[in-house]
Amino acid sequence: MATGPLNLFTLLLPLGLMACNGDKGDGGTDDGGSADGGGDGGGGDGGTDGGDPCDVSILEVEPADGDDSWYWRDPLVVTLDGATDDLAFTLTSGSGVDVPLTVESSEGGLVYTLIPGAGMTGSETYTLGMDVCGTLDSVSFSTTAYGTPLSADASSLIGNTWYFDLPGSTFVQPIGIGALLSTFLTMPILVGVTDASSTSIDLLGAQGVRDESEAWVQDLEQVTWDFPAASFAEAPYFKVYADEIIIGYQYGSTLYEIPVYGFEVEGTISADGSKVGGGKAFGQGDTRNMGPLIGAGDEPTALCETFASIGLVCETCPDGVQSCMTLEVHFPEAPLLSEITLVEVE
C-alpha cells in the first residue's frame, strides 16, 4: 500500500505548465475523415479539389524506413504536406502476404492513420507502399517478437502472473496532471491467468506490495479485480474488461479508495509466456475521494475544482457526480513473477 504526504503548492506550478504544454499541437480530428482502406489500402479519385494538378508529397512516415522494433499492433502514420484524394497505400510482408489496411484521415486530410488487419504478426519484415499524386514511395520495417504464436498450448499460461509497472508507466490521459495521478498510483498492478484456452482467457488483477525481502508479491489486504473471460481468438494478444475496480491508497492511517470505471487492460504475451508487451490500460478514474490527499477538502468535486484553474474539466461519473477523468496508461514491458500465483480476495 502506498504512503507519503503531498504538498499541493509544490505540485500546482509544474502541473499548470504541463497542462499548458499538453494543449500545444492539439489539432483535433477531421469530421468524416475516414476512408475505407479495405484489402488494397484504399485510394482516391485521382485528383484534388477543383481539378488542380496534384503536387502533394509525404512529410513523415511512422515507422521510419529500417525501423526494426515496431510493435505489431501499432497503427502506421503517414503525414502529408497538403490534402489530396490521389493516394493509395499497401502493406506487404516479407513472405508476400498482403495485409489489409483500414485508413483514417485527420488534421484536415494531412495525417493518415493506417490500421493493419489480419496477417500482421511479430518477427516479420513489412513494406509499406505509398502512392501520392502518382509518386511512388515505400518504407520497410520489422516487427518485434511480440505477435509470434505461443510456443505452447494456451493452457500453459494458467498460473502466470506479470508485473505491470504502474509508477513507471506513461500517463497519456489526462493531459497535464498525469504526474499528479502517478503520485497516488504508486503500487504495481499484478495480472494473473486463472484460465486459458485457444478461444478465451480469464485474468485476475491485484495490487502489488513488497514483502520483507523487498520482492513484489500480491497485496492480500486489497480486493482483487475479476475480469470476466475474454476472447483469446487473437492470441497472443488479449483485451479484458471490468465494470469497476478499486485502487487502494494508504495515506497516514486512512485507506482511500480510488474507483476506476470501465477498466480495460490489453497486451501481447510473448511466445514463451515470460513477459507482456504493448500493455495499456484505459478507464474513467474517479477523484471524489482524493481531495484530502492534496489538502483540498473532502467534497466529491474538490480535486476537480482545485485544478479547474489550469484548464482541467472533469467528466460525469456513472452515478452523475462530475469527478471523473479519462485515463490512458501505457506500461513498459511486464515481466513474469515466476514465484507468484494470484488468489482472489473479496
% pLDDT > 70, the chain: 85
CB 6 within 8 A of CB 183: yes
- 3-state SS class at 15: helix
Cell reading at 266: 490489453
Q: Which domains does the chain have, with CATH numbers?
A: 8-24+150-335 (no CATH), 34-142 (2.60.40.3780)
CB-based contacts of 35: which residues, under 8 Å, 6+ apart? Answer: 42, 103, 104, 105, 112
344 pLDDT exceeds 90? yes
* pLDDT at 146 (0 to 100): 98
Ranges 178-182, 200-204, 273-277: which has the least confidence: 178-182
For the segment 50-71, the average pLDDT, to the nearest whole number, is 90
Res 51: pLDDT: 53
Please give the model's pTM, rounded to 2 decimal places: 0.81
Residue 32 has pLDDT above 70, yes or no: no
Helix (H, G, I), strand (E, B) or coil at 317: coil
Dist. CA 171–CA 72, nearest whole Å = 21
- Position 6 scores a pLDDT of 40
Report the chain's C-alpha Rg in angstroms: 23
pLDDT attached to residue 52:
63
Q: Is the pLDDT of residue 341 over 90?
A: yes
pLDDT at 31: 43
Read off the amino acid at residue 116. P
Q: Any long-range contacts for 309-318 (C-beta under 8 Å, 24+ apart)?
A: 309/16, 310/12, 310/15, 310/16, 310/19, 310/20, 310/176, 310/177, 311/19, 311/20, 311/23, 311/176, 312/19, 312/174, 312/176, 312/177, 314/287, 315/284, 317/261, 317/284, 317/286, 317/288, 318/261, 318/284
